[in-house]
Structure 1
Amino acid sequence: MNYSIGAFSKKVNLSIDTLRYYEKEKLILPKRNESNRRVYSESDVAWIEFIMRLKQIGMPIKDIQHYANLRDQGDETIEDRMQLLYKQSDILEVKKREIDANIQFLNQKIDTYKRMLADKKEAL
């Protein structure tokens, strides 16, 4: 199925301006019809969803652009694309350890306050 930019915008829940920005940044390269209007496909839907996930996991736009460029070059760049994903995975693992440490710190503090409240109630 093919989509106009307006229909595609609604399908992927991104503004037309955002889609044009992504095109300007060469993140997405929609085909053009005989009237030179953008035409998006189901594969573009999947690609935009992937881009949005990369953004959610904190991949810098520069790396997403590099990934998009590699993708456009074809399957001979799969190893390079994997390296970008491994790099982002490593970054997320570090952040996960930091978040886990922060959660542990907060839980220890909460436990300290619970003990203090319990001791206070026992003293009454």
Structure 2
Amino acid sequence: MATDDLMSRALSALDEVDGPMSVEVIHRLVDVGDATEPMTITEVADLLGMSPHTLRYYERVGLVEVGRDAFGHRSYDADTVRRLVFLTRMRLSGMAMRDLQHYVQLVDEGEETVPERLDMLLEHRDTIRRQLKELTLSLAATEYKIATYGGRTGSPQDRAGQHEQEPDR
């Protein structure tokens, strides 16, 4: 499953939310499905839409620890895959590699680092919120130009049947 597919699945889970987001919904966003058996690097790469090279890089820089099977091949357990899902979401949201490395280091140091991890995530949330506002402004400018050129604005679902309804010109 590619990263786009993973994100689509996560967004679909969000669409099912009626009211405030619960802890269960958040857990579904890092759900790795039926991944109870160890996975190979190829399987994890396919699941996350990442290259095996990127997975090896994440391991090399200390973001994940990956076990080995009897033949010496990488063997990803469910916890490692869940961490990778989290890391890919943080990267997608713009978190720098050095910040991810620091965050993972804090996680590995234990519970006493929770306040610092919380501070990091609060700061990152503020960054994401600012990015969302900036993207909203960019979307508004794009919608304005589309309307200027005679196009229709709104979501793709809103526009789905509009082409059939337009009179011939």
TM-score between both structures, scaled by the size of structure 2:
0.57
The answer for unaligned runs of 5 or more in structure 2 is: 1-36, 151-169
How is 1:1-124 mapped onto 2 (pairs within 5 angstroms)? 1-105=37-141
Q: Which runs of 5+ in 1 are unaligned?
A: 115-124
Distance, in Å, in 2 between the alignment partners of 1:108 and 1:15 is 38
Deviations along 1:12-47, one digit per CA (max 9) or x if unpaired, are 332211111111111111123455432210111111
Higher fraction of helix: 1
Q: Which amino acid aligns with 2:94?
A: G
Structure with more relative contact order (C-alpha pairs < 8 Å, separation 6 or more) = 1
**Residues 12 and 97 (structure 1), Cα distance of their counterparts in 2 relative to 1, 3 Å cut:** closer
TM-score of the aligned structures, taking structure 1 as reference length: 0.74
Identity %: 30
Decide whether aligned partners of structure 1 residues 79 and 108 sit closer, same or farther in structure 2, where only a CA change above 3 A counts: same
Over the aligned positions, Cα root-mean-square deviation in angstroms equals 2.5
How far apart in 2 are the matches of 1:15 and 1:108? 38
In 1, Cα distance between equivalents of 2:38 and 2:148: 59
